[in-house]
Amino acid sequence: MKRIMVLATVMLATAALAEERYTNADLDRIYVPGAFTNEDLKALPAIEIQEAPAQPLAGARIDTAERDLLLADIRSLEEQREGAASELAYEEAIVRRAYGPGGNSPDRAFFAGYRSKSRGLREALRKEIALLDQQIDAVRWQALRVPVATFR
Q: How confident is the model at residue 41, as a pLDDT?
A: 81
Q: Are 136 and 78 in contact (CB under 8 A)?
A: yes
| Distance separating alpha carbons of residues 80 and 74, to the nearest angstrom | 10
pLDDT band at 103 (very low <50, low <70, confident <90, very high): low
Q: How confident is the model at residue 2, as a pLDDT?
A: 83
Element housing 148 (H / E):
strand 148-150
Which residue, among 134, 127, 136, has the nearest Cα to 78 in the 3D structure?
136
Q: Chain-wide mean pLDDT for the chain? A: 79
Residue 151 has pLDDT above 50, yes or no: no
| Distance separating alpha carbons of residues 74 and 71, to the nearest angstrom | 5
pTM of the complete model: 0.52
Bridge partners, 62 (sequence order): 148
Q: How confident is the model at residue 58, as a pLDDT?
A: 59
The model's pLDDT over 38-70, given as tens digits with 9 standing for 90+, comes to 788 888 888 888 777 666 555 556 667 777 888
